[in-house]
Chains A and B, each alone.
Chain A
Amino acid sequence: MAQPVISSPHAESKRPFLTEQRRSRITAYTFISPFFILFSIFGLYPIFFTIYLSFFKWDALNPMKFVGMKNYELVTSDPTFWISFSNTLIMGLLGTVPQIILALLIAILLNSGMTRFKKTFRILFFMPNITSIVAVTLVFSTLFGNNGMINWMLNGLGLESVAFNSGWWGVKIAISSMVMWRWTGYNAIIFLSGLQSIPTDLYEAARIDGANRRQQLTFITLPLLKPFIVFVTLLSTIGALQLFTEPYVFLGQSGTGSTRQEGITMVTYLYSEAFRNGFFGTAAATAVLLFVVTIIFSVLNMLVSSRMGGDTGGGKA
């Protein structure tokens, strides 16, 4: 980082109150203040209030009533909550793991020297990310319909149709593939920028030592790409835990909303507790639980990634 100069303390510090240094500090605090003001009101305060609220019974209309841990007991004894929890994890795994592997593959292919039309491919792969999730979900709900294109293709391959819009696995596969479609290209672009930051002379040296393509991949590319893989995995995990729009829209066709058990997620559960049933207390408890789960998974992520690819620079990523 460049050396900051504006607050150079030597500048006429004998002047009365507003010295140059004070003036520049005040300016800096003024420049950063909008974030801290807005975040205090719409970020920090709500977080603490959510935690506070999770110990009260409240419907947003009548006075709040302290109930202790009751909300947490209610939520954790509700089978629907656990279904939403396991759904979130299953769809998270289905949508994230294959996606990251695929993104890595695409990035490596795009990065290898012989690819022509590299820029065009990058744009095409990135395009899904700009579409709204609502639009993606609507399109995929036609593709995954009972007589939709995916089933038609499955039949063509001699396979049975899958009830993508009502089956236990069908719904999860359909929703995960929407997530994958939207984010694979985006992550591939992030990986690609990581690959491009690897110095080429490393490969040259490896070649001189007689390393083949596979060895170069496992001993140079993957270890050096590790920070990018960790970053993408972390963000994908956090995103997966907050899955809402896809299941909400996909399962909302009948107008009854999205609490159907095949695809309910933790956030859908939270949403319907609060804004459908008016149970703000249990919804707040759900939000806190969601946050705890997010932290646990983020920490797990860090632990796993700090273990892999140790000092030898080897190992699989």
Chain B
Amino acid sequence: MSTLRLLKKDPDDLGIFGKIGFYLILILGALVSIFPFYWMFVVGTNDRGAVFHVPPLLTVGNQFFENFQRVLDKTDFFQALGNSLFVSSMVTISVVFFCTLAGYAFAKYEFPFKNILFYFVIATLFVPQQLGVLPTYVIMAKLHWIDSFKALIVPAMVNAFGIFWMRQYISTAVHTELIEAGRIDGGGHFRIFWNIAIPVITPAMATLGILNFMTVWNDFFWPLVVLKNQENFTIQIALQQLFSNRDGLDYGMIMSATFTATLPLLIVFLLFSRWVIAGLTSGAIKS
């Protein structure tokens, strides 16, 4: 890109109109990307009929609390939010810990069958979740974990993507000399991992944590299969329940709920977006 900047006067320069067109496309794309968020808020703050306005209503109203009150009447909204927070946090803590351990082992240890085992981990990424969903359901039933958070947490406690991700990062970021020095000082394997490797790789762990948190928070298929009782619903299932009622759709209510459910994730993302995106672009594909 520096080339393009250096050679400002080249014959291929887009010129002023080219640049305008160029920015127009980007701005249009950005508007399309964020409009649904705004629209969610518009509908959530207006009265029930706001969705059907012709021409479409585009201004924020003042009915948010009325709409949201109807959400609270219909579902245990905050209970569902709390459930999601609990499940996502437990999974994330566990995923970050176990994936970092495994990634570290694959990056810094030498052991028989290492490469075969690693390729196996990668290969599991391509197996659709649905292939094993019925027997997993049966296992959960046998364990009496149906309708329990254990069914959501335990199978998700470590995943192939996370191992791949951490291995990529650790193999370049953690210097072997450091580990060697730790060994000479007589540190145990886990202590070296904990005291020497972990401090160096916290950025990658944070990125993995955020990405994983979002994935679990937004999961729908598996919670839909195993959760039966309303008080155990995660927020996604609770939102979908609001939508599937027969007596006319109250979009003001639905959107006030959707907006409230999206807001925490949106804030977290905006706070850490630089990390997430930088991490994503650096770790995407390197092998």
Contacts and interface: CB of A to CB of B under 8 A. Distances in A.
Pair from one complex: yes
Interface of A: 1-7, 23-25, 27-29, 31-32, 34-36, 38-39, 41-43, 45-47, 49-50, 53, 60, 105-106, 109-115, 119, 121-128, 130-136, 138-143, 145, 147-149, 152, 181, 185, 189-190, 192-194, 196, 200, 203-204, 207, 212-213, 227-228, 231, 238, 241-242, 244-245, 248-249, 252-255, 267, 270-271, 274-275, 280, 283-284, 287-288, 290-291, 294, 298
Contact of B277 (A112, A123, A245): A123
A178 to B, nearest CB: 10
Given A139-B40, A253-B243, A190 B281 contact: yes
Contacts of A113: 1-5
Contacts of A24: 109-111, 189
A200 B254 CA distance: 49
Given A147-B52, A190-B280, A252 B131 contact: no
Interface centre among B43, B214, B262 (most CB of A within 10 A): B262
Interface string B241-272: 00111100101001100100110011001100
B33 A124 contact: yes
13 contacts: A7-B111, A29-B105, A34-B157, A35-B121, A35-B159, A49-B138, A126-B277, A132-B261, A213-B12, A238-B126, A245-B220, A252-B244, A287-B131
Interface in B11-56: 11-12, 14, 19, 22, 25-26, 29-30, 32-34, 36-37, 39-40, 43, 51-52, 54-56
Interface stretch (B59-67, B68-76, B96-104, B200-208): B96-104
B134 A291 contact: no
B108 interface: yes
A134 B128 contact: no
Given A138-B243, A189-B280, A112 B32 contact: no
Contact of A135 (B40, B101, B224): B40
A109 B163 CA distance: 33
B243 A28 contact: no
Contacts, number: 316
Interface of B: 1-5, 7, 10-12, 14, 19, 22, 25-26, 29-30, 32-34, 36-37, 39-40, 43, 51-52, 54-56, 98-99, 101-102, 104-112, 114, 117, 121, 124, 126-139, 141, 154-155, 157-160, 163, 171-172, 175-176, 179-180, 183, 189-190, 193, 214, 217-218, 220-221, 224-225, 235-236, 239-240, 243-246, 249, 251, 254-255, 258, 261-262, 265-266, 269-270, 273-274, 276-277, 280-282, 284-285
B131 A135 contact: no
A132 B217 contact: yes
A177 B105 CA distance: 42
A135 B102 contact: no
Interface centre among B180, B217, B225, B284 (most CB of A within 10 A): B284
A39 B155 CA distance: 8
Contacts of A4: 107-110, 176
A138 B5 CA distance: 43
Contacts of A255: 244-246
Contacts of B258: 134-135, 138-139
User: What are the nearest 4 A-B pairs in CB distance?
Assistant: A46-B132, A193-B281, A113-B4, A46-B135
B190 to A, nearest CB: 8
Given A42-B154, A181-B33, 19 more contacts: A4-B107, A35-B99, A42-B132, A47-B127, A50-B134, A106-B29, A123-B273, A126-B276, A131-B266, A132-B218, A132-B235, A152-B56, A181-B36, A242-B128, A244-B130, A253-B243, A255-B246, A271-B221, A275-B225
Contact of A288 (B108, B112, B131, B255): B131
A115 B26 CA distance: 9
Main secondary structure of the interface of B (DSSP, over half): helix
Given A2-B176, A113-B1, A213-B12, A190 B36 contact: no
A134 B236 contact: yes
B157 A109 contact: no
Contacts of B180: 5
Contact of A45 (B3, B11, B26, B135): B135
Contacts of B214: 130
Nearest to B177: A5
B261 A135 contact: yes
Nearest to B51: A142
Interface centre among A5, A152, A228, A244 (most CB of B within 10 A): A5
Given A152-B55, A200-B1, A242 B171 contact: no
Given A45-B135, A193-B282, A200-B3, A133 B255 contact: no
Nearest to B53: A147
A132 B37 CA distance: 12
A209 B55 CA distance: 55
B109 A7 contact: yes
Contacts of A60: 138, 141
Contact of B109 (A6, A34, A111): A6
Contact of A203 (B3, B29, B157, B158): B3
Contact of A25 (B3, B12, B111, B243): B111
A127 B5 contact: no
A145 B51 contact: yes
B77 to A, nearest CB: 14
